[in-house]
Structure 1
Amino acid sequence: MVQLNLPTGKINILAKLLSRLGAKDPITYRLRDIVKRTIEFREEKGVVRKDLLQLFIQLRNTGKISDDNDKLWHDVESTAENLKAMSIDMIASNSFLFYIAGSETTAATTSFTIYELAMYPEILKKAQSEVDECLQRHGLKPQGRLTYEAIQDMKYLDLCVMETTRKYPGLPFLNRKCTQDFQVPDTKLTIPKETGIIISLLGIHRDPQYFPQPEDYRPERFADESKDYDPAAYMPFGEGPRHCIAQRMGVMNSKVALAKILANFNIQPMPRQEVEFKFHSAPVLVPVNGLNVGLSKRW
């Protein structure tokens, strides 16, 4: 048995979160150990990397992140442990959350998009044709690397990702706290200040009042020439001060995954069938029977 003297309860929060996601405690301590050893190595050797952990190290030692881009990635002198602005546990917790938020949501968006394309052959053909044309236009091969410019050129794929995140938001709900007393319009109900609120994104995104024919997969609803939806009701990445800071990266990652799949595989058509979800401790949409799609190599 390994005993750790933890200065804060942050690692316990991380442990509980990992437990809800089906992970075991050893993973929690392994992650903490990796973060601790990496920070110690960088501070002792003066190693600087242009990554999230380096920003955490700067915040840990100085209490802030520099606004000066020239100083942003410079080595930061370590301070005494009792003067640190962030504990190792807090950095480990935030690193894990960034990892989960960036991987699980991207994987889910990619999977749900492929599933929907399999049920809508005409949309699949249009998306696949666009990918092929963009690769040819930019002189790229299906098995090779993609470029940022080529991905940005895939406008219809953008619409597909938008429609997927509407129908299957990465997080099906938002949790917020009331900052002041609020009376619900046309009712006598008042929500007191400091009350926790859960907002159903899944419910809003599938409300025909905001999105006509919400059960249908129609990427064209987001096209500039149609705009067949209420923009204020579209919140797949949250809204307000706690809006997802990695929205553009998340969309880009999903487009890269989809482009590689569409460029190298044919998706077998299948009958339309709505996805059934099951209750799960993880704050994501979990299909009852998974998502089964047939693929075959194109080349």
Structure 2
Amino acid sequence: MIVREKPGILSIFFVVSASGGSILPRIFPQLFLVIALSALIVLAHRDFPTLVPVVSSAPFALIGIALSIFLGFRNNACYDRWWEARKLWGALLIAGRTLGRQTLILEGRGDGRGAALRARIVGFAIAFVYALRLHLRPGDGEGRVLERLDEADRRLYRASRNPPDFVLRRIVAELAAARGEGLLSDIEFTMIEATIEAMASVQGSCERIRSTPLPFAYTLLLHRTAYVFCFMLPFGFADQLGWLAPLAAGMVAYTFFGLDILGDELEEPFGDLPNDLPIAAIADTIAINLREALGETDLPPLPQPVKGVLM
């Protein structure tokens, strides 16, 4: 996720890097092609008007309005996915902190067994957060999960088809054992188990977003329409704008292609592009909060943006 101050009126035109918030690097080939094609059409029409005719610009205005509305609807749908995912990880942060507070009731119970049980439960919660991050955005970092598990759990974790769910099952198993030993009452068990259920709900909802993209036919229709419109646009303005037609076509292409690419990024909020969610940073924040709840003092600093990007 891009985290930076809003650029000023002068610098806003010079932001060209992806980390700075610009989508120009991703659409530059298409943009260059539209401008070059527009220049060729204007040149060919001036020299060979009968071979390269122009058409009325009125249909382009109507199609442009319809395409703009269509792009708006799609980007709203993509942003809804992005924002829902962000709310889910916010709920996970709250659930993690709640679990750290709820398990305080175990301290002082069972001649030290309660404190050891609390440390295991909170450790499993940290492992779950990192396992969920890897589940949604594969990459490095499995060591942060494995360091919270014993050897037997590590084997089961690696063999599981759904590692985050395995970790949650281990937490509930620890809670059930604690209830059987009398370390937790039925009410206390139900209270903590409800927090674990909230964490499982976050996982299931994130999996739904990841595995259910927008209908491909919807995206394909928009891609085709945007490309055809931008490539045909110079034929409607070669006479009226002359050599300004490539500039006008480039501005329209920048807007349409940019919105299209931005929608693609927001559609997959758990990816690793600059506009995707900082789930790794949120996972680190939850882990730090839980470690602090256990009384640890040697804690790393909270995640900070790197070159304006927080991932």
What is the TM-score of this pair, normalised by structure 1?
0.29
Q: Which has the larger radius of gyration?
A: 2
Between Structure 1 and Structure 2, the one with more strand by share is: 1
Between Structure 1 and Structure 2, the one with more helix by share is: 2
- 1 or 2 for the larger relative contact order (CA 8 Å, sep ≥6)? 2
